[in-house]
Amino acid sequence: MLRVQNGDERSYEVLFERHSRAVHGLLRRSGEPPERAAELFQDTWLKVYRGRATYQPGQRFRSWLFGIALNTRRDAARRAGRTIHEAEEDVNLPTLRGNPDLKLTLDAAIESLPDSLREAFLLGVVYGFDHNELAGQLGVSPDNARARVSRARAALRVKLGGEA
């Protein structure tokens, strides 16, 4: 990213090639339909380029990038008048092994989560952000980030027919 800040266009292309799939996946798994995810994806990469000066050396690029993607999605949701909801449950996900249809079921369950829990689950569980990184992305305390992941897991367990 430092090379991009210094005007190296090829480095921007490399970053795009390296991270575009993950950004698009994050936006799709956040519950956006394909067309909307594609628009948000383009907006995200435009903001990355325009905001390249705001990247801080030493900051994890993927965290910064996902923050831009999620903020782009949140801004679009606000403009469209959508709201964020919370869930209540607090248990673990069921084991996913041995069920080839479960991925589709799980994806649908993830998409049905309230925005705040879906983002926490995707970043914390799917993309492996630690609680401090997750807290920074969500704008909450690490304890709140941990609680959101826990509530997301609980809601998913209920949706997937596990015990509460």
| CATH code where residue 107 lies | 1.10.10.10
Task: Supply the range of the domain harboring residue 9.
Answer: 1-82
Question: Looking at the structure, do residues 26 and 9 belong to the same domain, yes or no?
Answer: yes
Identify the band that residue 83 occupies on the pLDDT scale cut at 50, 70 and 90: very low
Question: Looking at the structure, do residues 117 and 161 belong to the same domain, yes or no?
Answer: yes
**Total of domains in the chain:** 2
The pLDDT value recorded for residue 94 is: 46
Residues 26-52 have pLDDT tens digits of 888 887 888 988 999 999 999 999 999
Question: Looking at the structure, do residues 75 and 120 belong to the same domain, yes or no?
Answer: no
Q: What tokens were used for 7?
A: 């005007």
The pLDDT value recorded for residue 29 is: 82
Among the residue ranges 46-50, 59-63, 101-105, 129-133, the one predicted with the least confidence is 101-105
Question: Looking at the structure, do residues 11 and 44 belong to the same domain, yes or no?
Answer: yes
Residue corresponding to tokens 């994890």: 60
Question: Looking at the structure, do residues 36 and 76 belong to the same domain, yes or no?
Answer: yes
Question: Looking at the structure, do residues 47 and 77 belong to the same domain, yes or no?
Answer: yes
Res 82 pLDDT > 60:
no
| 64 CB neighbour count, 10 Å cutoff | 17
Question: Looking at the structure, do residues 60 and 100 belong to the same domain, yes or no?
Answer: no
**3-class secondary structure for 93-135?**
CCCCCCCCCHHHHHHHHHHHCCHHHHHHHHHHHHCCCCHHHHH
Share above pLDDT 70 across residues of the chain, in percent, rounded to a whole number: 85
Identify the band that residue 70 occupies on the pLDDT scale cut at 50, 70 and 90: confident
